[in-house]
Structure 1
Amino acid sequence: MTRRMGVRLVWAVLAGAAADLAGLGLVAAAAWLITRAAEQPPLAALSVAIVATRAFATSKGVFRYAERLTGHDVALRAQAGTRERLYDALVAPQQPRHGGADLLSRMVDDTEAVQDLLVRCLLPAVAAAMAGLAAVVIGLTILPVAALVLLAGLVVAGVLLPAGAAAAARRWSARLAPARAALAGRVADLVHGSADLAAYGADGEALARAREADEALAALERRQARVHAAALAGGILAQVLTVVAVVLLAQAGGAGSVGTAVLALTSLVAFEPVLPLAAAGERLAGVTAALRRLREVRAAVPAVAEPAAPAPRPDGPLTIEVDNLVVSHPPATTTAAGQEQGALDGAPQNGQQGHHRRQQQRRVVLDGVSLRLTPGRRVAVVGPSGAGKSTLLAALMRLVEPESGAVRVNGVDIRALAGDDVRALMTGLTQDPYIFRASVRDNLRLAGPEADDETLHRAVRDARLEEWVERTGWDAELGEDGRTVSGGQLQRLALARALLYDPPVLLLDEPAEALDEETADRLTADLLDVTRGRTTLLVTHRLKGLERVDEVIVLEEGRVVQRGHHDELVSVPGYYRDLWESEALTRR
């Protein structure tokens, strides 16, 4: 929290306390004025009370408005700051830990906990404490023994009941947030997988699981509501008993009609800011759990380690050297929620048994891969699924951490560069491109915000998507995650975005995937024309047109098993020639 926000928070606390004190003063002054006026004293004897009553009535509204305005301003700013830090944590490459629905629940529901912490917990507690103290002071001036009874009642309603409510709610709060996330996950499955569920007749089972998650959440919320009702009832009971005791003591102690009225009404009003503290204590338990869940996201182990002092980004023509690169998938563990995650995210395992288990689960994806990309050189990487082709591109874009070996740009290890600088030099079409719920134009301008219409048209034309875009319209809104476009259109739109970004080293992961054979061949040919003279690394399953690249590298099980020009590889036995002959038979 910044110093400016801290000052605003102090003002909000003071304004809230002043509003409650004004309300207390209003009731005390009004009670004295009414009972004293019944004795028919001279009007001059009532003038001060009359002015005080008006002042307290006016100031209460003014202070309450100031408290609401300042308090909510601070709370909303704090919530925005929390979300901004959460965005930063999510944008940075991380080891997979949370599902999308769970992250959405944390982003929407849990970030509101920051606002509740200030508005529903901190401000009411401070205001109630100051108002209760003022009521006790008023009681001490009239009848000390009644003030002690009032203090005891306020302690019960403002300290013991909120503490009990918080302890009871803490039991349920730790289960409520995961239950909400589980329900959000079930709903997300129903929405995004509705077509597949209907196709395989699994929609009934999916709906049943969603109902089970909903019923589990509803049961927890009912139990929480019982805690809230019990705490509220206990506070009201404490208020009633305290006021009755104070009145009886005032009558027995000879406080008089004026003193008795002031003590009774002051005691009654003193509980108004105190009674909500039970709900605040209950909410505090939920806030604590929500903040803990947010810290889990921000504390997630990053997929790559950013350097403390990044080296300058290399300039000029770039030479990329991959030297004996080894990348392993982390061993999978299971969280309490049943989600798989890397061992780096789980609890550490000690001893020889834990070490053996990690070694046993460890799977090498790239094993000693080396290649060299000089300026303008085009290299194709082929191999069966799971050979490590996409992992190689991820390592080049600094999205995964190599176990050993190095990737150098003009002799500088990319681990010494900021991740954003690496991706500014080497990026392109990823394995799972995402299409945003926005227009075609806006989806493209994600890669080139300042691109003019001519540049956009050229990128679309190079991706062989011009006809579809002209027919659909540049301003047509695409569905979430590209649900309103075909797989081939999604792939070509993402390719156009990569071409529009125009990085110094273009990385393309299966650009012809999800396309029919004829379109894929034309697109590959166009890509090879467009990338002539520029540094390109192409990952593909298709061999058509690869005679035009400078080098072909064949990966199998993470190792380079063949490399050379297309004409050389088709002449020697191996995966490449087998695939080439298979494609030739298919084309006949």
Structure 2
Amino acid sequence: MATLSWASRQSWMHSEVTMRTERYAAMALSTTHLMAGVVLLLLSGWFIAASAVAGLGPLAATFNYVIPAAMIRFLALLRILAGYGEKYFGHAALLDKVSQLRLSVFDGVMNGRADESRAEELERLGQHTDALASRDIAALFPLISAAVLALLLSVFGLLVFPPLLLLLAITVPAALLIALWQWRGLHRQRSQLSKGQTAYTAAIEHYLTSASLWHHGMSNRTLEASQTDWQSARHRLRETENWGDWRMTVFAMSLLLFAAAAPPQEWLGSPYLMLGLFFCLSLPDWLGPAIRAMSPLAEAQLAEAELHKLMAVSDRVAVDGEEGVARLPIDTLSLSSLRPQRGQFHESGLDLTLRRGELALVQGSSGSGKSSLLLAIAGLLPMSGKLLINGGDVSTISPAQRRRNLLYIEQFPVVLADTLRQNLLVAAPGASDDALRDALVATGLEAVLNDGLDQWLGETGRLLSGGEKKRLGIARALLSDAPVWLMDEPFEGLDQAVIERLSVLLSRERESRILIVVSHRELEGLQPDVRLSLDV
């Protein structure tokens, strides 16, 4: 990863502090929300009983109804405000966590995948990071809130109403057993669901790629079987989740019957006796979220395991130290009998020498190996022959240096489900906002920039058109400042005005770098120094 400037490091540290503050605020408000709800229920029960008892005796004239009623209204308002606050800070912390996780592993996927599975891998990456980032809000906050409330109720029972301690002593172990039982079942079924989804996706892709055989009556039994398995796994998961709620409800009702059948004799006639009954009634509201948290917790643990595998792959392909991915001053790029080891290509390979300031236009029919050639030069496909940089063999530099300096700009750039800013920072983590805006303006993306750098682009960048995604890839190349650009169909699907604008941009950029452009189009403004046809 590129070295961050002092200002960028300060910005990153500020982002870390902000995210930590948002997380703690959301956790505190989540606990407050749950605590206010349970205390509200207990206080209401006590108030009803106290009002009834006071009305029967000499306390009727002296019992203060105003204070408990005001406290009930205050707790109701506090619960509402804490709920909204939790959602606000929790959502902000969630978005920040998603961005952080995706940026931390994006390079691992991009460097560790050199074929068409990269987009599919990134889609799974998005699902894993979403699950892991949601762990705090969906799982840890309910569990922490339940534990804090149990502690507070224990203190209340110890100081005010000791019979409550007996109910807590029964409730806490039972809740732990239900949660453990729930987690084990959900962890197993989440794993089965993940495997089923992978198999179902593979079956769909296989069926779609075999579209040319459909008219021959190709069977889709494999697809139907994998779909049935996936749907069955989802159904079992939902049933287990629902069973957790049912177990907690049955336990609460059983505890309520126990409390009502054997009330402590010394507390008969006291309004505090209602606290035990309302405590039992509050259990689904108090411990229900903690039981339901077992599902996102199991999902997050599986996602974390998958991300650890991914990071292990990225560690094997990464370069130790920042110097390993520095920009190299490349003056010449020479190909000698170079031949990608995929698809059809000239048996003798390709010979070509380009110098800084030169542009080569590669053309050929579909399947002639144009994209494979670029991938081989970038080190993303195995090759035979020689590739020389400044007269030295490419094997003398690391794979990461090769990818950093021989930049492959793909035909369909991958767009993260993240903000516009983060989609640009993957190319230059230390870039300033002005640099990001300049890159967008240079590629004709002013309209996208109008909504700001922090706009959310949606899953796989669905808010961008195909042409905008292409230009986003070129904007990333500008930010990376690689000395060699390997551009795969950069003009495909663009209108004439945009093509002319990009042609001017490439003509300017070629002055300081080497460009190899694959394109079906004949462009007058491009004026290539070398034309290559890969058709035999």
Same-fold call, TM cutoff 0.5: yes
Q: Equivalent residues in 2 for 1:28-427 (5 A)? A: 28-38=42-52, 39-40=54-55, 41=59, 42-43=61-62, 45-92=64-111, 94-96=113-115, 98=117, 100-101=119-120, 103-107=122-126, 109-157=127-175, 159-189=176-206, 192-193=208-209, 195-202=211-218, 205-206=219-220, 208-301=221-314, 305-306=318-319, 308=321, 309=323, 310-314=325-329, 318-321=331-334, 373=354, 393-400=374-381, 407-409=388-390, 415=397, 418-419=401-402, 422-423=405-406
Q: What is the CA–CA distance in structure 1 between the aligned matches of 2:349 and 2:320, rounded to whole Å?
A: 24
Q: Does 1:505 align with 2:514?
A: yes
Q: Letter of the 2:397 partner, please give it.
A: R
Q: Deviations over 1:470-521 (max 9, x none)?
A: xx96489xxxxxxxxxxxxxxx99x989976864434366x67xxxxxxx9x
Q: 1:319 to 1:366 in 2, by over 3 A?
A: farther
Pairwise CA RMSD of aligned residues? Answer: 4.8
The percentage of counterpart residues that share the same residue type is: 18
SS of equivalent residue, structure 2 residue 285:
coil
Instruction: Tell me if the contact between 1:17 and 1:127 (Cα under 8 Å) persists in the aligned partners.
Output: yes
Structure 1 residues not aligned, in runs of 5+: 330-364, 451-462, 477-491, 513-519, 543-588
Q: 1:273 to 1:97 in 2, by over 3 A?
A: farther
Q: What is the CA–CA distance in structure 1 between the aligned matches of 2:287 and 2:276, rounded to whole Å?
A: 17
Q: Deviations over 1:237-283 (max 9, x none)?
A: 21112222233343434343412112211332244120232221133
| TM-score for the superposition, normalised by structure 1 | 0.62
Q: Deviations over 1:525-549 (max 9, x none)?
A: x99x943xx3x4846234xxxxxxx
Q: 1:475 to 1:508 in 2, by over 3 A?
A: closer
Bigger Rg, which one: 1
Q: What is the CA–CA distance in structure 1 between the aligned matches of 2:465 and 2:33, rounded to whole Å?
A: 50
Q: What is the CA–CA distance in structure 2 between the aligned matches of 1:401 and 1:371, rounded to whole Å?
A: 18
Q: Deviations over 1:93-117 (max 9, x none)?
A: 525595755643442x333313431
Q: What is the CA–CA distance in structure 2 between the aligned matches of 1:252 and 1:243, rounded to whole Å?
A: 17
Which of 98-107 and 77-86 deviates more? Answer: 98-107
1:13 match: 27
Q: 1:196 to 1:128 in 2, by over 3 A?
A: same
Q: 1:366 to 1:391 in 2, by over 3 A?
A: farther
The number of aligned residues is 445
2:535 match: 541
Q: What is the CA–CA distance in structure 1 between the aligned matches of 2:78 and 2:380, rounded to whole Å?
A: 58
Q: 1:153 to 1:147 in 2, by over 3 A?
A: same
Q: Deviations over 1:226-246 (max 9, x none)?
A: 322332221112111222223
Which of 277-286 and 248-257 deviates more? Answer: 248-257
Q: Letter of the 1:178 partner, please give it.
A: K
Q: What is the CA–CA distance in structure 1 between the aligned matches of 2:469 and 2:48, rounded to whole Å?
A: 71
Instruction: Tell me if the contact between 2:358 and 2:514 (Cα under 8 Å) persists in the aligned partners.
Output: no
Instruction: Tell me if the contact between 1:142 and 1:255 (Cα under 8 Å) persists in the aligned partners.
Output: no
Structure 1 residue 84, shift from structure 2 partner: 3.6
Structure 1 residue 34, shift from structure 2 partner: 2.0
Q: 1:65 to 1:507 in 2, by over 3 A?
A: closer
Q: Deviations over 1:256-315 (max 9, x none)?
A: 341211221133224412023222113311221123233434443589654630444316
1:480 match: none
Q: 1:443 to 1:369 in 2, by over 3 A?
A: closer
Instruction: Tell me if the contact between 2:204 and 2:223 (Cα under 8 Å) persists in the aligned partners.
Output: yes
Q: 1:379 to 1:276 in 2, by over 3 A?
A: closer
Instruction: Tell me if the contact between 2:376 and 2:383 (Cα under 8 Å) persists in the aligned partners.
Output: yes
Q: What is the CA–CA distance in structure 2 between the aligned matches of 1:322 and 1:473, rounded to whole Å?
A: 33
SS of equivalent residue, structure 2 residue 113:
coil
Structure 1 residue 174, shift from structure 2 partner: 1.2
Q: 1:217 to 1:227 in 2, by over 3 A?
A: same
Higher relative contact order (CA 8 A, sep 6+): 2
Q: Which is richer in helix?
A: 2
SS of equivalent residue, structure 2 residue 313:
coil
Q: 1:197 to 1:392 in 2, by over 3 A?
A: closer
SS of equivalent residue, structure 2 residue 388:
strand
Instruction: Tell me if the contact between 2:337 and 2:384 (Cα under 8 Å) persists in the aligned partners.
Output: no
Instruction: Tell me if the contact between 1:326 and 1:367 (Cα under 8 Å) persists in the aligned partners.
Output: yes
SS of equivalent residue, structure 2 residue 50:
helix
Instruction: Tell me if the contact between 2:33 and 2:80 (Cα under 8 Å) persists in the aligned partners.
Output: yes
| TM-score for the superposition, normalised by structure 2 | 0.67
Q: Letter of the 1:149 partner, please give it.
A: L
SS of equivalent residue, structure 1 residue 541:
coil
Q: What is the CA–CA distance in structure 1 between the aligned matches of 2:317 and 2:128, rounded to whole Å?
A: 26
Structure 1 residue 122, shift from structure 2 partner: 0.9
Instruction: Tell me if the contact between 1:16 and 1:127 (Cα under 8 Å) persists in the aligned partners.
Output: yes
Q: Letter of the 2:217 partner, please give it.
A: G
Q: Letter of the 2:177 partner, please give it.
A: L
Q: Letter of the 1:283 partner, please give it.
A: P
Q: Letter of the 1:541 partner, please give it.
A: D
Which of 22-31 and 216-225 deviates more? Answer: 22-31
Structure 2 residues not aligned, in runs of 5+: 1-14, 415-461, 477-488
Q: What is the CA–CA distance in structure 2 between the aligned matches of 1:292 and 1:104, rounded to whole Å?
A: 16
2:18 match: 4
Q: Letter of the 1:182 partner, please give it.
A: A
Q: Letter of the 1:77 partner, please give it.
A: D
Q: Letter of the 1:35 partner, please give it.
A: A
